Amino acid sequence: MDNTDLHEKQKRRLIVALDVSTADEALEAVSELRGEVGAFKVGLQLFTSEGASLVKRLAASGIEIFLDVKYHDIPNTVAGAAAEAAKMGIWMFNVHASGGSEMMKAALGAANDACERESLRLPKIVGVTVLTSSDRQALSETGIEQTVEERVLQLSELTAKCGLHGVVVSPFEARMIRDSLRVPGFEIVTPGIRPSNATHDDQKRVMTPAQAASAGSDYLVVGRPIMGAGDRVEAARQIVKEMTEAAGPTDPR
Ligand code: C5P
């Protein structure tokens, strides 16, 4: 594979978090970055302010959308939401793995049924394990006495058993998940990425793009280091460059 192909391949692994308040800001970032990254993530802030109509509009414009609203409710309610999410034409959405197997299976089943009924592509459904802003102390506060690693592994195994397509973990757990789960095609999405010259903001467990790319992560989610940069295109290109250097020509992803 030559360097251009490798660069294009790494680009598809980069997801930009559209953590802004208005459709105008989101559309501006999308028009700047659509040729530079693989997908755009709509999270709670933008979804709460602009709602599903913006998500549908973005998806219809031909870009891959990761709807990051982390569903966590009773199985029947999550199933209903998952079916609606699937009908929006998005590429990926997530549920909290701590919602349990019944909830995760309900989400997958409902999304599958909706897509079959309407001949749509099934979005990737991934389980959120432990938030990258959390550490052992934060887990302990909520009555969980496992280490972060133990908790992430337990929730990842559960997510895989339910047939979901992957998990969201910190890059620190990517290698452990890759080595212990060994479920073919099970994908690892990692936020908590900071280029070496960037601040950590509220993220507690961070890695550089190169480290995350070599740790077994399939997709890297990056928000503030790109969205807050003076030149977003340059910031995205720099990250893809770091990923490309780390991946090397033999990287399977
Ligand atoms: O700005 P930053 O790069 O920290 O953004 C990371 C994005 O990934 C945010 O939108 C955050 O909500 C999201 N995220 C996360 N940790 C998770 C799941 C999602 O940081 N476990």
Counting Cβ atoms within 10 Å, is residue 95 exposed (0-12), middle (13-18) or buried (19+)? buried
Q: Which residue has the higher pLDDT, 63 or 200?
A: 63
The sign of the CA dihedral 76, 80, 81, 82 is positive
- The pLDDT mean for the chain works out to 94
**Tokens 């290109």 identify what position?**
237
pLDDT tens figures, 103-145: 999 999 999 999 999 999 999 999 999 998 888 999 999 999 9
Q: Which domains does the chain have, with CATH numbers?
A: 3-243 (3.20.20.70)
Q: What distance in Å separates the CA atoms of residue 151 and residue 130, rounded to the nearest whole number?
A: 7
Q: Give the pLDDT mean for 28-39.
A: 98
Q: 159: which 2 tokens?
A: 């997510």
The residue whose CA is least distant from atom 8 of ligand 1 is 191
Residue type, position 164, single letter? L
CA angle 12, 14, 15 (to 5 degrees): 110
> Which atom of ligand 1 has the smallest separation from the CA of 227?
1
Ligand 1: nearest atom to the Cα of 202:
4
| Kind and range of the H or E run holding 7 | helix 3-11
Given a contact cutoff of 8 angstroms between Cβ atoms, the answer to whether 169 and 156 are in contact is: yes
Report which protein residue has its CA nearest ligand 1's atom 14. Answer: 191
pLDDT band at residue 14 using 50, 70 and 90 as cut-offs: very high
